Amino acid sequence: MAINPEYENEVRLLLKQNKRFEAVRYLQNTLNVSNTDADRLVQAVENEIALEKQQVLNPAAETAKGCGSMVIKVISFGFGFFGVVFILIGIGAYLLFNYIEADAVEVQGHVVDLRPSPNGGDGFAPVIEYEWNGQTKTHQSEVYSSPPDFETGQMVPVYVNPSNPDIVTIIYEETGWIFISVFGGIGAVFIVIAIVLFRFGKKMNRPL
């Protein structure tokens, strides 16, 4: 059984005022139907109202989901980008260390002095003497640290450029590997976070 729009509007108005009993009584008296039939008609109107509310809310919910998904994906791309950059820095440092070790000649040097930072800082840089073809050469490091990385009299490996023995490189083994591990580890963590966020963003796009 259906009711005409005029009666339906009156029922909607009563339901909006939380007067369901009055809505049932109104239809019962107006349509001259039983209480059960009137209750069913009111229930049908209530179902229509609920469906209309759902149709209004769903687009807004889908829009909110879409915006949230886009934000999460942008954040995931940011983590992914910096993750790749950090890993590339770690790989680059690793390759650089290997290149220096492969291209240069390793000799033993010893720290003869620790010079303070010229700008008044707390750091100290080692002065290292080493032998090359019977000649004693001196290298002043430009890496200042506090506390110092080396002690006076300490023996350290020095990598000498054969074509220009005045150019030497000191590889800070522990610091170098920490540098590689930190950048590589952070990069890997960022990429994992990016993958998790991206997959979560894709799930948010699925319809309700």
Percentage above 70 pLDDT, the chain:
87
Q: Does 167 map to a domain? A: no
Q: Does 21 map to a domain? A: no
Q: Does 85 map to a domain? A: no
Q: Are 114 and 127 within 8 A, CB to CB?
A: yes
Q: Does 42 map to a domain? A: no
Give per-residue pLDDT as tens, 70-90.
788 888 889 999 999 999 988
> How many domains, the chain?
1
pLDDT at 23 over 70: yes
For helices 35-103 and 20-31, the axis angle rounded to 10 degrees is 140
Q: Does 66 map to a domain? A: no
Q: Domain of residue 109: give its range.
A: 105-161
Q: Does 143 map to a domain? A: yes
CA-angle at 176, arms to 95 and 152, nearest 5°: 130
Burial 23-37 (b: 16+ CB within 10 A, else e): bbebbbeeeebeeee
Q: Is 189 helix (H, G, I), strand (E, B) or coil?
A: helix
Distance (Å, whole) CA 3 – CA 1: 7
Q: Does 68 map to a domain? A: no
Q: Are 109 and 128 within 8 A, CB to CB?
A: yes
As a whole number, mean pLDDT of residues 157-186 equals 80
Residue 62 or 163, more confident: 163
Distance (Å, whole) CA 86 – CA 81: 9
Average of per-residue pLDDT values in the chain: 82
Report pLDDT for 66.
Answer: 59
Q: Does 44 map to a domain? A: no
Residues in the chain: 208
